[in-house]
Homo-oligomer: A and B are copies of this chain.
Amino acid sequence: MAGNKDFSPAFADDQWTLVERHFEKEHNRIWETLCSVGNGYLGMRGSFEEGLDGYSTGGTFINGYYENSPYRYPEGFPGYAENNQTILNLADTRAIRLVFDDGEVYQGLAANKAIVSDYSRRLELQTGLLTRELTWQSPTGKKIHLKFERLVSFDLPHVAAVRLTITPQSDCGAHLTIASLIDYQIRRETSHQHDPRNAAALENELVIEGQEVFPEGGALLFQRTHHSQITAACGLRDRLPNHPETSKVPVDDRQEAVIGTYYTVPLKIDQPIILEKYMVYCTSLDVRPDNLRHKVLDELRAAYTSGFAELCTAQSRILRTFWDHANITLDGDDWTQGAIRFNMFHLLQSAGRNGQTGIPAKGLTSQGYDGHYFWDTESYMLPFFLHTDPQIARKLLEYRFNTLDHARRRARDLSHPKGALFAWRTINGEECSANYPTGTAQYHINADIAFAVKRYFDVTGDKVFMLDYGAEILFETARLWFDLGDFIPTRGNRFCLHSITGPDEYTTLVDNNTYTNLMARENLMFAAQIARWMQTEHLERYEQIKNKKEVALEAHEPADWQEAADKMYIPEPVNVGSEDAPHPVLPQDDLFLYKPLWNRAADNIPLPLLLKHHPLVYNRYQVCKQADLILAEFMLGHLPIFSREQKERDFNYYEAVTTHDSSLSRCIFSIAAAQLADPADPNDPYLNKALAFYRASATIDLDNHRNETRNGIHAANMGGSWMGIVFGFAQMRTHDGLSFCPLLPPGWTAYAFQVYYQERRVQVQIGPGRDSSGYPICTFTLTENKPNQPPLVIRVCEKTIQLAVLNESVTIRR
């Protein structure tokens, strides 16, 4: 699946460290993506402190920081999104330049004539450090060893740090000048002309609002966007612990667009020189603009005072807790084991957790998709957080709640007098989708968010959240569905949804997309249920929401929602076989199964269709970009319409017509195949399918699938790789209590994970070995308990177990 055969990353340290050992300029941008470090607020690509012109896409991103730019449509219509928002590449505080006293400049890996040896770049998933080492021998014979260490602090969200250790290994002259800089030249890759997945190209996006160089070393820089008028401030302080009294020369070079400090230190063979850089980022979204300078100085002081070693200690401590809760172990497939951890680590690095931000499609590793948040936050990534660190899941939902006013305005823009329509893609909550057939028409985002609210409530039982945030989200989304749909006389007065787009973006503007209708039904039902519950048990809060000026719920509405849910139209299966050999398949929408099949053989260039054909071409065919009905058959797989036979027919049918041109697709097909596998049959063909889909999906970024990794990670697919283990192979479900039905794929000796559920954590171990019936042997252990409560009931296939006491463990073998 690798886009480039020479590119071969590997894991070390028992699959805890991603290592690049052989440097290739052409692969540098891929490694920069993979080695990005971040903390959900701040992200930095794994680019070199010394730069690498022409082979690097450096990047420093703050989640939620954006520039607005007005859309100009060649043919515009009312209600079209008015502005785009784009995440910006901020000034780079990690820049370092080294100059020897004969004037020779250390050129790092850019130099053709220098000899580089002992190279490695390592992303350490347990310490959270990005390290890089190399020995550099200049054409004039100077030889030095360099070690760079970098972290973006999980403890202090505004803080990052770099430690450089320079060890001369030959006579390199008497002194070395070290420039520790903030580089504010904006570097950006030109966007590919026809690839809508890249970021919009903005010009002169950031103005320098102010800058300061500290006499004691370090600097401050303020950048402001033109349109959105948000200021980002960054600060830098340095420490040279072995040379505290060295000379400092302030730098403010507007030509080169750098500020900072030159340090000149004596050089001696084998005597290491250490530079510690403490970096801080903060924006006027975080604090009042007039407090920004103060805040940055405070944060800088805190980071500088704790010191690099202490930051590392805190980083390891936080990651230890994270892995304690999130780690998945997998025996028998090292590459996939590494990939799973790598993916979880990046999820942790990508998720906003301040209630004002979500998870950008590319995490904080690039400007791809403009740094927007999509539906996949809730549908692909939130489950991971929900079952490992539910507080982050809550914050992601709070973010949606905080955009409700925008969503209400958006609903009015689309002529809905009531309700809220969440933005298909956005940073601050305003709709940024400029192509409505694959954007705004995807109303299902409303149901996806409501479903996440339900999932969160099912798993946490967090009533405070439901009353404070969840209920209003549920009500406003339910109202939108009720206004959007209609009871259709020619359909026996069933409730239908028209001119919408489901998850599959190759089939747009359809009627009765099965996924959407089913998910809207869940939304309507659950909203009605929560309304009834609140009317009974939390009437005051119910009245509060009801009477909120911007809500103004009418008394009959919850009953309306229930009626629409009860009468929701779900397309019937269509016979795609013959009259003699009927083969009823559930349609993706009213007409999907009446379209022609795409002749895939004639289309052998491995490009996504969306980069090759006009939408009118693939829209015409039974060809899917991604799972759509199949996603519904996973998310709502328990519904009676999804009998095993139906699921099997549908899986095979849709597998044949799906291109997986979306990275959201294969992980779902893996889960859907797992649903069909017999747990007792180690050679079940569906199990093999599930595994093949799983491996292809879990390693998309590591394998540089379609040579896209340079443009950033696929964050949602990373969430899919967690779901593939827990919802796929272990078949965990939570819609009706906690249940599992674990599979053990061929080649995997055993795997284990832990999940949060109802104030408890359960360790689930599948394998090694199978019992006499052929079922994988499974062990369930209560690793965290809820005091003074009845035992936790878990259904495991047809059995039920109970775990009552901390560390109690049940092994199931027949």
B-binding residues in A (CB < 8 A): 71-80, 84, 193-194, 196, 200, 413-415, 433-437, 439-441, 484, 486, 488-491, 496, 498-500, 508-509, 511, 574-576, 590-591, 593-596, 610-617, 619-621
Contacts and interface: CB of A to CB of B under 8 A. Distances in A.
A616 B499 contact: yes
A200 B74 contact: yes
Nearest to A511: B591
Contacts of A595: 486, 488, 496, 498-499, 511
Contacts of A613: 78-79, 414-415
A76 B196 contact: yes
A196 to B, nearest CB: 5
Please provide the 4 A-B residue pairs with the shortest distance between their CB atoms, ordered closest to farther: A79-B614, A74-B434, A486-B596, A75-B435
Nearest to A434: B74
Contacts of A496: 594-596
7 contacts: A71-B74, A73-B434, A75-B439, A78-B611, A415-B613, A415-B614, A441-B616
Contact of A511 (B196, B488, B594): B594
A396 B548 CA distance: 63
A73 B74 contact: yes
A576 to B, nearest CB: 6
A407 to B, nearest CB: 15
A76 B194 contact: yes
A508 B77 CA distance: 14
B196 A75 contact: yes
Nearest to A75: B435
**Which of A78, A415, A621 is the most central at the interface, judged by chain B CB atoms within 10 Å of its CB?**
A78
B499 A619 contact: yes
Contact of A590 (B74, B575, B594, B612): B594
A659 to B, nearest CB: 15
Contacts of A193: 76
A652 B318 CA distance: 71
A685 to B, nearest CB: 26
Nearest to A74: B434
Q: DSSP class of A's interface residues: helix, strand, loop or mixed? A: loop
A617 B192 CA distance: 33
B612 A196 contact: no
A606 to B, nearest CB: 16
Given A413-B614, A509-B509, A590-B591, A575 B490 contact: yes
A445 to B, nearest CB: 14
**Which of A75, A576, A596, A617 is the most central at the interface, judged by chain B CB atoms within 10 Å of its CB?**
A75
B499 A620 contact: yes
Contacts of A615: 77, 436
A147 B555 CA distance: 72
A576 B77 contact: no
Contact of A415 (B80, B435, B594, B617): B617
Contact of A488 (B73, B76, B594): B594
A75 B615 CA distance: 12
Contact of A617 (B196, B414, B614): B414
B194 A78 contact: yes
Contacts of A415: 612-614, 617
A204 to B, nearest CB: 17
A610 B76 CA distance: 10
A84 to B, nearest CB: 7
A72 B72 contact: yes
Contacts of A591: 498, 511, 590-591
Contacts of A489: 576
A731 B593 CA distance: 42
A572 to B, nearest CB: 13
Contacts of A500: 616
Contacts of A499: 595, 616, 619-620
Given A79-B616, A511-B595, 16 more contacts: A72-B74, A73-B74, A75-B439, A76-B193, A77-B196, A77-B615, A414-B616, A414-B617, A415-B617, A440-B614, A441-B616, A486-B595, A496-B594, A499-B619, A509-B509, A511-B591
